[in-house]
Chains A and B, each alone.
Chain A
Amino acid sequence: MGFIHPYDRPNSYIGRTLPRSRAKRAVAGRGRYTDDITPPRTLHAAFVRSPYAHAKILNIDVEAAKDASGVKLVMTGSELAEMCTGPWVGTLKVFENMKAEPQHPMAVDRVCWHGEPVVMVIAETRAQAEDAGELVVVEYEELPVVINKETALDPGSPVIHANLGDNKAWEHTLGSGDVDKAFEEADHVLEETFYFGRHTAVSLEPRIVLCEYDKGTEQLTIHTSSQCPHMIETVFAQTLGVPEHNVRIVAPDVGGSFGLKIHTFGDEIAATAAAIQLGRPVKFVADRLESFLSDIHARENRVKAKIGIMNDGTMIAAEIDDLSGVGAYSQYPRTSVFEANQILNISFGPYKHPNYRARAQVVYLNAVPTSQYRAVGHPIGISVGEFMMDWAADVTGLDPFEIRRKNIMEDDSYPRPIGSGIPMKDLSHQACLEKLYGLMAYEDLLSEQTELRKKGIYRGIGVAGFIKGTAPSPVGYYGAGGARIAAQDATTVKLEPSGGVIVALGVTDQGQGVDTVMEQIAAAAIGCSMDHVRAISGDTDATPYGGGTYASRATAIGGEATYQAALDLRREILHMAGILLQADPNELDIVDGHVVNDGSNEPRIPLSEIGRIGHFQLGELPNNYQPVLSHTRRYRLQDSPYIYTNGIHGAYVEVDVDTGWIRHLKHWVVEDCGRIINQQLADEQIRGGCVQGLGGALYEHCIYDDYGQLQNGTMADYVTPMMSEMPDIEIDHIQTPTSESELGAKGAGESGTGAAPGVVMNAVNNAIKPLTDGRVTEQPITPEIVLGALGKI
């Protein structure tokens, strides 16, 4: 197909940078987020949340709250449970031997984390609901708290859920080759232990639902800030016993998502139940403190790593042992074990080592449940693998680029599996590495570093390669695991009577530019101007059932569905034009919205005429041809578990060796996300992803005390990156189209977050290397940790 090659036709939008229409309204303050919508008679929900990490609920007195001004309903967890079809159990069949405690949307007789919802108050205003919440009296009996993952599996440890026997959610091992023998044969065996601090998404628009129930039609409509409207529809329908075809989910503009908004939360179910019970719209917005106490957390891990290296720098074996501290429950329906699973899958992923052994143990804690957050597992696996690679370079006297050149998989060696057994193809580690070497002017940086060290200025250069799993298949996890989460996706492309084209998407747009990318694909495939194409997403009544946007899948999966559906429409347009023009459709083409003779740009019939005749003037068409003009295609990966991408980051930092302060000066990325549809949008996904990763690596940390009390619940003490702290980020690409699809696009939304923590940790260690044998092995890399590595505290 010729349509996917850049710039060889008037409507070749593939690869072009085009602006987003949604951006135009956002800059004028005319975005439409869920909280901007308030139907008449809307009520507001507030929640009484557990002040304890673990306690038995002895009694709940709601009488005073019920009598408070403006209050319409007070609902306890047990009352809500009666309106639900049953508790959630966050397991998937593919995770063998995984254990999970059933979880009610609000606590019923026991609270298991600080912040778990206990009582909901519905009132005329949010302020009144919060006032009444203060009048609810809950009597608790405190229970022993499990908050330290390192001791959670000790024989004497309290057990959070007695039915599970112990605190272990899941244990998993994988590998290949003979690891023990390789360690015996290695010239050097290096071992280190790493700690990663729990963090969370902090989307600037918090979680929100606006629930409306029509008691006449029994239709439930929920406006919500979601990445996955169809999945949310399914979970809400199941949980509340509403037939799924009567549920409509609308995700209008979504103010940041990052994986947080693929999940369902008990407080949202509660607000919906209230709307059903009261027959009035109910809105619930998590405030910022509630967000820290109830949004999913991620990445609380300890990883022990060990590698075997030969004197020439060849890595012959790698081993990792992960301990993941998840929350009080396994998040339904996606579970809380993916982080651990991905760490095992992708650690040391760019390298050829033939022997690999990995184990993960996942333990429950009395803390906020953890689950998928941007680049699941990758920041941890990449940080560990790339740290070990740099250490191996030091031990063998090689430059960090040189040891990677020696160990990375060759670009002409695919398909091949990596140590975890996952098949790789269409990757370009070598090309990316060489491009980065030039892009960051590595040799100049080395000279500058040497000169500045003489003046007592310590700068560090970091490099970190990666693989990133994107666009998962239905055979890998969710589908095979038994979850009702679509890993295929769908697009409907329709020709309207005006000749305009509507592209209705199962995938969604949270500002990445998915709508624009799909318009580019459809316009290019059909052969019309972008102005004539409009994408619709985020409304389950208007779009075909799809998985939504998660796991860097929108363009890779949804894009191919759009491409194929648009080609179907193109074929029908040419068929109809053939009839009308008495021409062979194979000798016709579509250019700029007009059917033309192939090879000519002279218009013969415009799409507006095809639309008019196809919708109104059917008498001009033979009886044996019934126009459809609306084509739906679905697309899924088949045999591969993911579409893997690869790339490499460079970082240049300055460390103040007296204060431990890190200044990130410059960041570079060379990435292969396959065929790029809109280069600027791809670049900005990568840049934004990097900064999110840098936040986790340098600042962000959900801190719990020994009693399971979250210590930092504001944006003043949970620190996300500010503009002045972040560097300019230079991006370049290698494009190796995936062989899985015709379009050839891979995912690009998460890899920045995956690799940035590892490269900055390597850069910091490179900066302090002349001064110490100590290394930074913990994230976030606070000044205290740097000073510790320097031996100063």
Chain B
Amino acid sequence: MSEEMITVNMTVNGEAVSKTIPVRTHLVDFIRTELGFTGSHLGCEHGVCGACSVRVDGDVVRGCLLLAAQADGCEVLTIEGITDTGEISDLQEKFVERNALQCGYCTPGMLMTAAELLAQKTEMSRDDIREYMSGNYCRCTGYHAIVDAIESINNERLGG
């Protein structure tokens, strides 16, 4: 049985890409293996852990639950893309300073979601942060340092 193929066109991290791929290719596999952006990780491949979180047309989605074909015509940003734009450079620096990551496998997805939360530019409690971030699992840190880092950047941004 020959593999059914499809041609997809999208913008990934600011660059237009066009590839012919098996129709069953998930978005995150497409980004990792076809485009070489390996910052988005696969933790569960069933939409629970959040390690594959990417931004599609402005919304953070699970890269493992979307087919690449579904993102045809979309604007996709990964951790590499939002690193290059400098959008979360303050948060990234804080994550390093506060050691809000250990193995780093969940971190790109964690930062994608945190960027979305911080973009709300609103007062938030530690419990609010914990609630919003609960779709991103971390097995190393125990979460406390992640909450510290996000809280501190939110305060800095609101204060600034």
Interface of A with B (CB < 8 Å)? Answer: 19-20, 22-24, 26-33, 35-36, 38, 69, 127-128, 201-206, 253-258, 287-288, 510-513, 680-681, 684, 687-692, 714-716, 720-726, 728-729, 752
The yes or no answer to B37 lying at the interface (CB within 8 A) is yes
Which residues in B have their C-beta under 8 angstroms from that of A511?
101-104, 140
Q: State in angstroms the CA–CA spacing of A96 and B99 once bound together.
A: 44
By Cβ-Cβ distance, the 8 closest A-B pairs, closest first, are A29-B39, A26-B104, A255-B105, A511-B102, A29-B79, A511-B103, A691-B142, A687-B142
Q: State in angstroms the CA–CA spacing of A690 and B130 once bound together.
A: 17
Instruction: Output the least CB separation between B14 and chain A (Å).
Output: 15
Which residues in A have their C-beta under 8 angstroms from that of B3?
69, 128
Which residues in B have their C-beta under 8 angstroms from that of A715?
43-44, 46, 48-49, 137
Contacts A511-B140, A684-B102, A688-B141; is A38 near B39 (CB within 8 Å)?
no
Q: State in angstroms the CA–CA spacing of A83 and B96 once bound together.
A: 46
Would you give the 0/1 interface string for B129-148, flagging 1 where the beta carbon is closer than 8 Å to chain A?
A: 11101111111111111110
Cβ 8 A contact of A204, one of B24, B43, B92, B126? B43
Which residues in A have their C-beta under 8 angstroms from that of B126?
728
17 A-B residue contacts at CB 8 Å?
Answer: A26-B103, A29-B37, A35-B38, A36-B32, A36-B38, A205-B103, A253-B104, A255-B41, A255-B104, A684-B142, A691-B141, A691-B142, A692-B139, A715-B44, A723-B134, A726-B130, A726-B144
Residue of B nearest to A690 (CB): B142
The yes or no answer to B154 lying at the interface (CB within 8 A) is no
Q: State in angstroms the CA–CA spacing of A205 and B38 once bound together.
A: 13
Contacts A253-B104, A511-B104, A726-B142; is A204 near B41 (CB within 8 Å)?
yes
Contact check, A256 vs B99: say whether CB atoms are below 8 A apart.
Answer: no
Interface of B with A (CB < 8 Å)? Answer: 1-3, 22, 24, 32-33, 37-46, 48-49, 51, 78-80, 83, 92, 95-99, 101-108, 111, 126-127, 129-131, 133-147
Q: State in angstroms the CA–CA spacing of A658 and B1 once bound together.
A: 57
Which residues in A have their C-beta under 8 angstroms from that of B139?
201-204, 256, 258, 688, 692, 720
Q: State in angstroms the CA–CA spacing of A723 and B114 once bound together.
A: 13
Contact check, B80 vs A205: say whether CB atoms are below 8 A apart.
Answer: no
Instruction: Output the least CB separation between A424 and chain B (Å).
Output: 28
Contacts A127-B24, A715-B49; is A256 near B137 (CB within 8 Å)?
no
Contact check, B101 vs A687: say whether CB atoms are below 8 A apart.
Answer: no
Cβ 8 A contact of B140, one of A28, A256, A722? A256
Q: State in angstroms the CA–CA spacing of A723 and B150 once bound together.
A: 13
Cβ 8 A contact of A33, one of B41, B45, B48, B144? B41
Q: State in angstroms the CA–CA spacing of A714 and B64 once bound together.
A: 14
Instruction: Output the least CB separation between A555 and chain B (Å).
Output: 15
Contact check, A28 vs B142: say whether CB atoms are below 8 A apart.
Answer: no
Contacts A202-B139, A255-B41, A256-B139; is A684 near B104 (CB within 8 Å)?
no
Which residues in B have their C-beta under 8 angstroms from that of A27?
83, 92, 95-96, 101, 104, 107-108, 111
Q: State in angstroms the CA–CA spacing of A425 and B6 once bound together.
A: 67
Residue of A nearest to B33 (CB): A38
Cβ 8 A contact of B99, one of A19, A69, A725? A19
Q: State in angstroms the CA–CA spacing of A38 and B79 once bound together.
A: 20
Contact check, A513 vs B99: say whether CB atoms are below 8 A apart.
Answer: yes
Q: State in angstroms the CA–CA spacing of A622 and B126 once bound together.
A: 65
Contact check, A287 vs B140: say whether CB atoms are below 8 A apart.
Answer: no
Q: State in angstroms the CA–CA spacing of A513 and B83 once bound together.
A: 23
Which residues in B have their C-beta under 8 angstroms from that of A253?
103-105
Contact check, B140 vs A688: say whether CB atoms are below 8 A apart.
Answer: yes
Contact check, A720 vs B137: say whether CB atoms are below 8 A apart.
Answer: yes
Contact check, A205 vs B143: say whether CB atoms are below 8 A apart.
Answer: no
Instruction: Output the least CB separation between B25 and chain A (Å).
Output: 8
Which residues in A have their C-beta under 8 angstroms from that of B83?
27-29
Which residues in A have their C-beta under 8 angstroms from that of B51?
204
Q: State in angstroms the CA–CA spacing of A110 and B104 once bound together.
A: 40
Instruction: Output the least CB separation between A18 and chain B (Å).
Output: 10
Q: State in angstroms the CA–CA spacing of A52 and B22 once bound together.
A: 33
**B80, B107, B129 — most chain A CB neighbours (10 Å):** B107
Contact check, B95 vs A722: say whether CB atoms are below 8 A apart.
Answer: no
Which residues in A have their C-beta under 8 angstroms from that of B39?
28-31
Residue of B nearest to A731 (CB): B144
Residue of A nearest to B108 (CB): A29
Q: State in angstroms the CA–CA spacing of A89 and B142 once bound together.
A: 36
Residue of B nearest to A254 (CB): B103
Instruction: Output the least CB separation between B37 and chain A (Å).
Output: 7
Q: State in angstroms the CA–CA spacing of A38 and B38 once bound together.
A: 11
Q: State in angstroms the CA–CA spacing of A689 and B127 once bound together.
A: 21
Instruction: Output the least CB separation between B54 and chain A (Å).
Output: 10
Residue of A nearest to B25 (CB): A127
Which residues in A have their C-beta under 8 angstroms from that of B103?
26, 203-205, 253-257, 510-511
Contact check, A691 vs B41: say whether CB atoms are below 8 A apart.
Answer: no
Q: State in angstroms the CA–CA spacing of A580 and B42 once bound together.
A: 56
Which residues in A have their C-beta under 8 angstroms from that of B99?
19-20, 23, 513, 680-681, 684
Which residues in A have their C-beta under 8 angstroms from that of B138?
204, 723
Instruction: Output the least CB separation between A175 and chain B (Å).
Output: 36
Contact check, B22 vs A127: say whether CB atoms are below 8 A apart.
Answer: yes
Q: State in angstroms the CA–CA spacing of A29 and B78 once bound together.
A: 9
Contacts A204-B49, A287-B45; is A688 near B102 (CB within 8 Å)?
yes
Residue of A nearest to B127 (CB): A724
Which residues in A have their C-beta under 8 angstroms from that of B140?
256, 511, 688
Residue of A nearest to B46 (CB): A714
Contact check, B22 vs A722: say whether CB atoms are below 8 A apart.
Answer: no
Q: State in angstroms the CA–CA spacing of A254 and B2 once bound together.
A: 36
